[in-house]
Chain A
Amino acid sequence: MADTPNGIPAPLVCSGAAASLIDEERAREIAGEWLDGEKNPVVPDETIQFGKAVLIYYPFWKFSREDGGEDVIVYRPACGTLLSGLQDLQREETRVVPVPKDANILPATVFSTVYLPELHGIARGEELVGIPLWMISYKVKNSIYMMVVNGESGLVYPGWHPVKEPAVWKRTALTAFIPMVLLSMTAVYLSPWFFILAAGLLIIFLYRSRMFGMVNTKYLEGKDGS
C-alpha cells in the first residue's frame, strides 16, 4: 500500500498468480465426484444438472512469517467475500506465475495492514497473489447452488448445498398410516377399544421412530453403518 505523492493509495495489483492447473472439464469432474462421493450430501435420487463454470482469480495476501524459527506462510483474502473456505486458505505449492493476460481477476480492496494484528511471528514479506477458483453452478430440483473448486489444487469449497436427510419420509408416512387405517376400521366394526390401542401405538411411534426404520440409521451412524 505504497502512497503516491498525492497521498492517494496506489491501486493494489497482484504481483503473480497461482497456476491454473485444472481445466473446466476436470473442475466439473471434481465437482461431480464430490456430489456423488461417499460423504455425498445430496439426496441421491435427485438428478444434478450442471450450469455455468467460471474461472475467477481471487486476490490473496501472502504473508511470509518467521515464527519460532520456522517459516510460515499465511494466506488471507484481499477482497470481501461470503464464500466459505477462503479465510485460511492452505496452499502446498509456493510457486507463482505471471497473471494470465485474459484472466478474470478481482480487484484487491483490502490493505495488508488489516490482517497484521492477527498474525504471529516476524514479518519476512508480503505480496498479493491471485488464486484461480472455479465457480460452478448446479441445479437440484428447482434450486440453484454454487460450488467452488480451487483451480490450482482441485480442493472443493462446497458452500451452501442440498443436504441428504437421515429420514425415510415415505416409510414414515406408510408406517404411521396403514396400521391406523386397519385399527380404526376394526374399531368401528368390533369395539371402540381398538381406538385406545391406536392411541397407544401412536405414542410408541412418536418415541421410538427410529425402531421402525423411519430414520435411516445407516446414515446417522457413519458410512459403514454395521
Chain B
Amino acid sequence: MVLERSVEDLISEIQYKAKITRGVADRTVRDWFTKGVKAPDLSREGVVTELYLVYLPFWRFVAQGKAVACGYSEYTEKTGNVIRNIFEELIDEEFIWTECACDTGKCGITKLWLDPGGEVPYVRGSVVSMDAGGSAIEASKRGREEVHRMIKEAAAKRIQVLTLEKTFLIPKVFELVYAPVWIAHYSYKGGDYTAIVDGVRGEVLGGTAPNNLTARTRMMILTFTAGGIMIGSSIAMLIHPGPYQISELFQIILLLLGIAMCMAAYPAFKEGRTFVSSGSMQHILALSPATRVPKQLTDNEILNHESTLLKCPVCGEVVEQPWGEVVSACKKCHHLLDVTANTVKLVPYDVAKPDLLARTAMKGMDPEYIPFWKFEVDFNVTDRLAGGETKTGLPDISGKRSYYICAADIPRYVSEPWEIDLTIRNPEIVEDFAGREGTYLTILMNQNTARKLTEFLYLRYETEKPGILQVLRYNFQVDNARILYIPYYKEKTSYIPGI
C-alpha cells in the first residue's frame, strides 16, 4: 500500500463515541476504590478532585496476513525413539496492530482496547482530545514490521525447526483512532493519584492508587516472625542440640531459609507503593500535547515546487493520489495510472471479450469487468521435499505461465479460487478493442502487493497438494505486469466467468 505520499494530510481520522456519562464514570471509579489490594479506607478518604472526558489518539494498522510455514517438531519417547511431527501451516487471517499516539505517562496505556466497529468520523476541535504526536510514516512502518512479526509467530507456533517460511501482508487500513476516556484525578491523605475509565464500556483501564498499608504491615510482620522463629530455633539447635534429633544440614538450611525470607520480604513490602503504575515520566516535553510532524519536503522540492505535483505521463494532466491503494484512470485521457509516493506509472491494460459460449448463455445480460493483475512468471523449483503421499492429480503450475491476481474489492475467499483457476487454465484471451461499455470495478491493489501475492499463490497451491510439504526451494522471475479486465456475469450472489 502506498501510504507514503498521503499519510500526513489525508490519513483518515475516526473516533469512538463516548457512551459513559460523568455519573457512571464517577460510580465506576468509586467501585474500583473498593477492589483489589488498595487502602481499605480509600472509598471513604479518597476525594475525586477532577473528572473529565478526553480522547486519546491511537494509530491502527489492519492487514490481511498470509503465510506458509513448513517444518517439524521432535520429541523423545521414554524408549529413546525420536518422534518427529511434520507440519505444514497456512495462515490467512486479519491482523490488527495499534499503538497509542500520545504519551500517557504514568497511566501506561499503550494499546487500543477496543475492536474495530461503530466508529464515526473525527471532527477536529469538536471534542477534547490529546494531539497525536510523531510521524504517521514512522508509525505505519512500525505497524507493518509488527504485523509481519505477528504473522510469523502465528505461522511458526507449533513448529520447532522451520524448513520453509514465507510471510505476506496486504495492508487494509491505516488510520488514527480516537478513543474516549474519563480521567479521574483524586487525592488520598496528601497523595495525588489518577484513574482512567474507558469511555465506551465503562471499565477502569489503569491508573495509580495507594495500596493497602495494613495488609503490607501484616505481611511484613508475618514473614519476620516466621523468619525470627526459623533463625532463632536453628541457631539454638546448632549450639545446643537438646532433645531434638534433627540433622545439622537441615538446621543450616532452616537458618539460611529464614535469612533469605527476611531479606526478600523487606524491600518487597516496603516498596509496594502503588497498586497499578506503569509507563515513565522521563520525557518531560512529550507530556505536553505534541504536534503532528508534517511531511518533510526535500530541498529540491522546495526550490522547485512544481516537482511535487504529479502529472499524467501521457497527457500532462495533474493527478492526485486517491486515498488507499488504487490504480486510477486519468480524468483527461483515461489511461490507467499507478500513482505512488513520487512517481506516476502508466499501467497497460486489456479488456477480455466474453467468449461465444458465455455470450449465448447469458444473452441480454451485461457482464461486470473485474480487474486482474496479470504477470508473466517463471517459477523454477530446485528442491522439493514433502512427507507422505506426493502423487497428485493436480497440474503443475511451475515453469513459465501467466499468473492472475484479483485487484478488485472482492472477498479474497471468492477471488482466490478464480486466481488459481485462471493461473492453471491460462485461458486464451480475446481482446476487446471496441472499448465495450459496462461496469469496470475499481483497482484497489497496486502492482507491488499483487507481485508479492503471485509467490503466495504458488506456495498456497503447493500446500494444497496432498502430503506435508517440508522443503521447497525455488527461484522465480516476474515480468510484464498489466491489468486485464475479465468479464464476469453476476447472478444473484455468485459470479459466472465470461471466459
A residues lining the B interface (CB < 8 Å): 1, 9, 12, 39, 41, 51-52, 54, 56, 77, 79-85, 87-88, 106-107, 109-111, 113-114, 135, 137, 143-146, 158-167, 169, 172-173, 175-185, 187-189, 195, 198, 201-202, 205-206, 209, 214-215
Contacts and interface: CB of A to CB of B under 8 A. Distances in A.
Contacts of B244: 188
Interface of A is mostly: mixed
Interface stretch (B85-93, B232-240, B343-351, B486-494): B232-240
Interface in B103-134: 104-107, 124-131
A151 to B, nearest CB: 14
B221 interface: yes
A82 B49 CA distance: 13
Interface stretch (B266-274, B304-312, B443-451): B266-274
B218 interface: yes
B410 interface: no
B128 A172 contact: no
A163 B190 contact: yes
Contacts of B281: 137, 143-146, 160
Interface residues of B, number: 64
B191 interface: yes
Interface in B179-227: 183, 185, 190-194, 208, 210, 213-214, 216-218, 220-222, 224-225, 227
Contact of B191 (A9, A41, A111): A41
B269 A158 contact: no
Contacts of A184: 228-233, 236
A165 B217 CA distance: 11
Contacts of A106: 288-289
B325 to A, nearest CB: 27
Given A173-B262, A177-B262, A161 B236 contact: no
B55 interface: yes
A165 B230 CA distance: 29
B217 A189 contact: no
A41 B131 contact: no
Nearest to B208: A160
Contacts of A80: 54-55, 102, 128-131, 289
Contacts of A209: 214, 217-218, 221
A75 to B, nearest CB: 13
Contacts of A176: 220-221, 224-225, 228
Contacts of A206: 218, 221-222
B217 A167 contact: yes
Nearest to B240: A189
B381 to A, nearest CB: 57
A128 B379 CA distance: 66
A164 B210 CA distance: 11
A179 B228 contact: yes
Nearest to B51: A87
Interface in B281-296: 281-282, 284-285, 287-289, 291
Contact of A165 (B193, B213, B229): B213
Contacts of B240: 188-189
A205 B225 contact: yes
B158 to A, nearest CB: 41
Contacts of A164: 190
Contact of B237 (A39, A166, A169, A188): A188
B278 interface: no
A114 B125 CA distance: 8
A82 B287 contact: yes
B472 to A, nearest CB: 52
B323 interface: no
Nearest to B235: A185
B225 to A, nearest CB: 5
Contacts of B107: 82
Given A79-B131, A114-B128, A146-B281, A88 B218 contact: no
Contact of A109 (B49, B232, B289): B289
4 pairs of A and B residues whose beta carbons are closest in the complex: A180-B228, A184-B232, A181-B232, A188-B236
